[in-house]
Each structure stands twice: as C-alpha cells, then as structure tokens.
C-alpha cells in the first residue's frame, strides 16, 4: 500500500475526493488494500429517482463503478490510475432514496488488467451487482 497514491491522499484529506463520488454521497466504511476489498455507503438522493420514484439505473451503475474502482485504487502506487474498460451491471430489485451499501473487491489484479466485482444492497436486500475490467496506467506528470 502506497500512502502517496491518489486514493490514500484523498482518504487523509491531502486531496479532495472526486466530484462524482461526492455527488453520489460516498462514505468509505472499510477498506483492505491487501485483500482488495471495500465497504462503502452511498446516499440515494431524491434527485436520482425516475418517474416511478426509484433510483434510476444509471446512478446505481455509477455507484457500482465507484465501489469497485476504489477497491482497486487502494492497491495502486503513486502515479498509477486504472480507468474502467467495461462495466457489466445486473439490476436485481428497485432501490429507493436513502442509504445504499456497496461491497466491492478486486477479483484479479494483473500487471495491467484487473477484474473487479461489486454488489449494492439496501435494507439487507441485493439491488444490483456488477463486474468490470480496468486497465492500470501510469500518469506521466
């Protein structure tokens, strides 16, 4: 774990969090950089709802991406980042405004290609799951 990597700099307040994460109301509850796991919480805002009053699927997809991404980011070194190459989402049940929990993990971390997985729950009920592929890249300053 590299405490100078972007993820850890945001965790200790040296850098601001990404705006998308702030919009989603993310709170990191637990992270294990060695295991590549994370437990987060989101705020399902009323502004995220569709005409039926449920959280629109695009916001749930963004929450899933923002669950898996930080699980991997916690494992990266300074100057590395890992954009999502693909994101596969399965919607299981509707989500309502309120607290939504995310559990994410790095399934496989290769030298460059990484496989990720995550689930969102609300009131102890699965609402969506996802898998993703990310590519580790180095930022040239």
Q: pLDDT digits over 47-63, tens only?
A: 999 999 999 999 999 99
In the numeric block, the tokens 């070194």 are attached to 77
Q: Which residues of 120-139 are buried (b: 16+ CB within 10 A; e: fewer)?
A: bbbeeeebbbbbbbbebeee
Instruction: Share the mean pLDDT of the chain.
Output: 95
Q: What's the pTM value of the predicted model, to 2 decimals?
A: 0.94
Q: Which domains does the chain have, with CATH numbers?
A: 6-13+27-138 (3.10.129.10)
Q: Is the pLDDT of residue 1 over 80?
A: no
Question: Looking at residue 110, what DSSP letter applies?
Answer: -
> How high is the pLDDT of residue 141?
56
CA angle 84, 31, 96 (to 5 degrees): 70
**39 membership: H or E segment, kind and range:** strand 37-44
Between the alpha carbon of residue 117 and those of residues 13, 109, 120, 137, 138, the distances in Å are: 27, 12, 11, 20, 23
């Amino acid at each position: 774990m590299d405490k100078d990597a972007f993820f850890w700099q945001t965790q200790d307040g040296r850098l601001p969090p990404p705006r998308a994460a702030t919009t989603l109301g993310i709170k990191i509850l637990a992270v294990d950089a060695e295991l590549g796991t994370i437990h987060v919480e989101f705020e399902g805002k009323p502004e995220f709802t569709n005409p039926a009053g449920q959280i629109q699927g695009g916001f749930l997809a963004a929450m899933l991406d923002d669950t898996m991404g930080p699980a991997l980011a916690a494992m990266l070194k300074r100057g590395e980042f890992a954009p999502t190459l693909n994101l596969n989402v399965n919607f299981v049940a509707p989500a309502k405004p309120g607290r939504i929990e995310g559990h994410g993990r790095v399934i496989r971390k290769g030298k460059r290609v990484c496989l990720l997985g995550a689930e969102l729950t609300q009131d102890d009920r699965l609402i969506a799951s996802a898998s993703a592929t990310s590519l580790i890249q180095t930022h040239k300053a």
